[in-house]
Chain A
Amino acid sequence: MKKFLRDVSLYLSVILLIGMGISFAASYFLSKSQFYKPNFIVNNLGKNSHYTYILAGSSRGLTTVNTEEVDRNLNVKGLNISMDDTGLPSQFLMIKHYFESGYTADYCVLTLDLSHMEGSKNGLGDNDYRFVSYSDRDYVWEYFRSKEEGIVRPLTLSRYFPLFAFSYYNMELFWPALYSTVNPQFKNRFDSNGNYFYPDQVLPEDQEKEPWKTVPKTLGNPILTELEEYLKSKNCKLIVYVAPYYGTTLSITETGTYPVINHSGALKEAKYFFDINHVNNLGRNEATALFTQSLEDYF
């Protein structure tokens, strides 16, 4: 019996040790890549880079505004740090990641989603694992520690044992790390300015027929206040931007001191939309033009 336990422990240790070695290597290659946005921010920008504005948000932030176009028209320098499938807590983490990596910005434009205006659920976001290469940084580890739930917490443990994260999220981390060994410049669904756009697919007909509605909203999410305070400490001003929705105009009651650019009902025609939450390439051009006009007032 003791021999059995000893042998099982031995084989388990060998598998875990080799697994740890593979995970450390994968973590190294991922940390040197530009595969995900957090790696792109660290590895693509020059030391102590300064931007006039950074654009944070979810997929709506990622795909609505073409920062290249804004920069050309306003003669400024912008960077899109938005990441798809994220909520406000993850977006705050991304903003922190930008500043804590040694970069500065005059303005932080936050593309705020309807579902995060009044509050955000506590818990890990779907794409938070993309910060795993930086779990040795306190703000990232603290974030994982406070948000992750369950008996085994792979992301929290990844600070010391990357095996847990690279095994649990193998499809999301291990395979990209493998790909990064041969193509470290590859960016996963964003360009060198951090932008991405949806193709010219038009909204499905059944969604097109839905009547337009006006929804009252208050910007009461406490994370917004926290974010504003954080940005102040980094000499950066917060601007909240609400990108166009199809079928919904938001009537927003502002509670903070930050300005709000509300373009929620700015594009009325279905031809501008990929789905009810995202513009297509045509809509992106229109939304960018509107955004540029609004942003000019603040610069």
Chain B
Amino acid sequence: MLFNSIEFFLFVIPIFLIYWFPLSKNIKGQNLLLLVGSYFFYGWWDWRFLFLIAFSSILDYFIGKNLESETAERKRKIWLWLSVLVNLGLLGFFKYFNFFITSFSEAFTFFGYTIPVYRLDIILPVGISFYTFQTMSYTLDIYRRKIKASHDVISFMAFVSFFPQLVAGPIERASHLLPQFNSVRNFNYSWAISGAKIFVWGMFKKIVIADNAAILVEGIFSKYGEQSSLTLIMGSILFSFQIYGDFSGYSDMAVGLSRMLGFDLISNFKFPYLSRNISAFWKHWHISLSTWFRDYLYIPLGGNRLGKKRAMVNIFIVFLVSGFWHGANWTFIVWGMIHGLVYLFYLIAGEKKEDDTLVLSFSTLGNILVTFSLVSLAFIFFRSPSIHDSMGYLSGIFVGKGESSFLLGNSRQMIMTIISCIGILILMAYEIASKRKNLIEVKLSKYDLVFIGLCTLFLGAFKNHLDFVYFQF
């Protein structure tokens, strides 16, 4: 059930009305409604996924209670490891089993041995990487005595499965989101209106930019060998906007829906394509994952406390793991490596403290374009099905002999290119204006709202109703 589908609106409107009318003063009833609604929402993909999320939630609920009550450090460590191993075990089995078994076999083939590969026919549960990280942060924070364990199983399960952000984040921390399930939520008009506006903005990004660009990107990436260099460059730029429109669009819709239900989720994106260097980019791109890795991987590895060299190794590890988190494919690992290397190069060259306000100048524009170009080139690995294809695509850009242009292939593709470019221009115009005002999200006036609504109606790729890219992660 996609946020931009009729089915979703038929699902969410009754939830919203019941939530704010008969249950407005009943916090337990609201939580139960959110839990039932979230499980219905998740089960819409495949009802078998429900067993997994229920198991993961109940296990962490009980481990959390034991971690809180237990005083012996050794036992507490056992409980923590049990939580980490089970959560990562489930993630590893469903997401990485086939990758490891295939890579293992390929390694043997490299040394002249052939071993048979037994791949499992496993369906990857939607959003498993997101909710696994969310529940892990819960047990890790209780272990560190940063938060108290939940003693209300309904509110805890509703926290894990909260439908606005269940399948593609933002990855919330228990310290931020869980208390909101336990406190009274009063309807706040301004908060709900800001939610409705950000929801519309997210829908625009998804339907107008991501879904239109997706068709062009697919056409270019699937036949990259035939395309001209310029088309390949355009393909990588369009993919950068497709993935941004898709993922940040989803995040905006999740934030918007949550606000309409009285919740506050963290912002996952803050105009990342206006970043002036790679460090700034990672402070503004998929913020909930970056900060998760910072708090639960980078800092436990020693962070920058053990000297600059060790800090650089730690940073590189974080980027590698972050790449692998995205998917069981070498392409994602290489994508992470590229970002890691560029980040380290930036650190070595001398990190600059920067004001977050955007002042338009030639040097700023130049820095933004260089950062965007690097990000777009790295995204070629993210989008390609294999390293071989990524390299082929890159060599096509620099020494390619292809002559055709998918973007101008026929009148339909030309119109789609024009629509995508119009969408991107609107997006960037709003983002530049917002960043110059030092805002953290686009704030739509009533005229903007009508304009964006109409743009979505007449520029949206409704026929190309695609899943969100990050659902697969």
Contact = CB atoms under 8 A, between A and B. Distances in A.
Interface stretch (B43-51, B130-138, B458-466): B458-466
Nearest to B416: A171
A11 B458 contact: no
A76 interface: no
A4 B193 contact: yes
A11 B446 contact: yes
B330 interface: no
Interface string A159-170: 000010011111
A243 B463 CA distance: 32
B450 A15 contact: yes
B450 A174 contact: no
A19 B189 contact: no
B462 A15 contact: no
Interface in A7-34: 7-8, 11, 14-15, 18-19, 22
A14 B450 contact: yes
Contact of A174 (B192, B449, B458): B458
B174 to A, nearest CB: 29
Determine the main DSSP class of A at the interface with B.
Answer: helix
Nearest to A3: B189
B49 to A, nearest CB: 24
Instruction: Name which of A8, A163, A171 has the most chain B CB atoms within 10 A of its CB.
Output: A171
Interface of A: 1, 3-4, 7-8, 11, 14-15, 18-19, 22, 151-152, 163, 166-171, 174-175, 188
A188 B462 CA distance: 23
Given A4-B187, A11-B449, A151-B7, A169 B463 contact: yes
A7 B193 contact: yes
Contacts of B458: 19, 22, 166-167, 170, 174
B415 A171 contact: yes
7 tightest A-B CB contacts, nearest first:
A15-B453, A167-B457, A1-B187, A168-B462, A151-B6, A4-B192, A170-B458
Contacts of B461: 171
A19 B415 contact: no
Given A4-B192, A18-B450, A167 B20 contact: no
16 contacts: A1-B187, A4-B187, A4-B189, A4-B192, A8-B196, A11-B453, A15-B453, A18-B454, A19-B457, A22-B458, A166-B458, A167-B458, A170-B457, A170-B459, A171-B412, A171-B419
B463 A22 contact: no
B450 A168 contact: no
A159 B284 CA distance: 47
Interface string B174-196: 00000000000001010011001
A3 B20 CA distance: 13
A254 B97 CA distance: 57
A50 to B, nearest CB: 33
Nearest to B459: A170
B20 A1 contact: yes
A81 B412 CA distance: 22
Contacts of A152: 6
Given A4-B196, A167-B457, 9 more contacts: A11-B449, A11-B453, A14-B450, A19-B457, A163-B457, A170-B458, A170-B462, A174-B458, A188-B411
Instruction: Name which of B24, B193, B196, B457 has the most chain A CB atoms within 10 A of its CB.
Output: B457
A167 B460 contact: yes
Contacts of A170: 457-460, 462
Interface in B391-414: 411-412
Contacts of A188: 411
Contacts of B21: 1
Instruction: Name which of B10, B416, B458, B459 has the most chain A CB atoms within 10 A of its CB.
Output: B458
A130 B10 CA distance: 30
Determine the main DSSP class of B at the interface with A.
Answer: helix
A271 B193 CA distance: 64
Contacts of A166: 458
A4 B260 CA distance: 10
Given A1-B20, A1-B187, A4-B187, A22 B459 contact: no
B215 to A, nearest CB: 10
Contacts of A18: 450, 454
Nearest to B215: A171
A72 to B, nearest CB: 31
Contacts of A4: 187, 189, 192-193, 196
Contacts of A163: 457
Nearest to A4: B192
A168 B416 CA distance: 14
B463 A168 contact: yes
Given A14-B450, A151-B6, A167 B193 contact: no
A181 B416 CA distance: 20
B291 to A, nearest CB: 31
A19 B196 CA distance: 19
B462 A167 contact: yes
Contacts of A169: 463
Contacts of A11: 446, 449-450, 453
Contacts of B457: 15, 19, 163, 167, 170
A4 B446 CA distance: 14
A119 to B, nearest CB: 26
Contacts of A15: 450, 453-454, 457
A171 B419 CA distance: 9
Interface string B425-462: 00000000000000000000010011001100111111
A167 B455 CA distance: 10
A155 to B, nearest CB: 12
Contacts of A171: 412, 415-416, 419, 461, 463
A244 B449 CA distance: 55
B466 to A, nearest CB: 15
Contacts of B189: 1, 3-4
A291 B192 CA distance: 68
B22 to A, nearest CB: 12
Contacts of B460: 167, 170
A244 B270 CA distance: 59
Nearest to B20: A1
A18 B452 CA distance: 12
Contacts of A7: 193
Nearest to A170: B458
A175 B10 CA distance: 30
A18 B447 CA distance: 12
Instruction: Name which of A1, A3, A8 has the most chain B CB atoms within 10 A of its CB.
Output: A1
A167 B454 CA distance: 9
A22 B459 CA distance: 13
A165 to B, nearest CB: 11
Contacts of B187: 1, 4
B159 to A, nearest CB: 24
Contacts of A8: 196
